[in-house]
């Protein structure tokens, strides 16, 4: 398994993957030394994440190697269908997956998403529009949603 640490506007991200695809992107709350030479298997992921944070990329085109239960994989696949700049609620995801009563299970699978930003779990909000739990911290979720927002807040001064 190849590993790389890259800088993002929200902290250091740890990328893990191999020839089978990108398996994990996590945001860290600790300082890690950045990787000088990105392993070949992670070059595309590092490049595309850099483009995303520069506002030049709205969709990732990466080979993914997601490990999880069939249900988790179904939730993660549904997350990939939420368009850039849009949000969905846990209830909407549950309906998409065919079981309106699966809200808690959908939330749990969302929380176990191993591919921070690439599989956009940050786009899932509460039914009332509230920012709900986020493994990377609500401040990061808010930043990501504002980053993707088609309407940018402008300063009056």
Helices (H) and strands (E) in the chain, counts: 5, 5
Annotated catalytic residue, options 49, 117, 121, 124 = 121
121 in catalytic set: yes
How far is C-alpha 133 from the chain's CA centre? 14
**CA proximity to 132, closest of 152, 153, 103:** 103
**Would you state the structure tokens that stand for residue 144, as one six-digit string?**
């990501």
Q: Given the DSSP bridges, would you call strands 88-89 and 124-125 parallel, antiparallel or unpaired?
A: parallel
Beta-carbon count within 10 A of 75 CB: 28
Catalytic residue list: 121
């Amino acid at each position: 398994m190849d590993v790389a640490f890259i800088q993002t506007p929200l902290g250091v991200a740890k990328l893990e993957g191999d020839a089978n695809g990108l398996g994990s992107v996590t945001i860290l709350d600790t300082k890690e030394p950045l990787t000088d030479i990105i392993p070949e298997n992670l070059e595309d992921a590092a490049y595309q994440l850099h483009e995303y944070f520069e506002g030049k990329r709205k969709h990732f085109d990466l080979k993914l190697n997601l490990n999880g239960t069939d249900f988790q994989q179904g939730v993660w696949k549904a997350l990939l269908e939420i368009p850039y700049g849009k949000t969905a609620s846990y209830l909407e995801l549950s309906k998409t997956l065919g079981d309106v009563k699966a809200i808690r299970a959908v939330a749990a699978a969302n929380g176990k998403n191993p591919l921070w930003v690439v599989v956009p779990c940050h786009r899932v909000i509460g039914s009332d529009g509230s920012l709900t739990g986020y493994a990377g911290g609500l401040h990061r979720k808010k930043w990501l949603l504002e980053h993707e927002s088609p309407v940018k807040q402008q300063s009056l001064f």
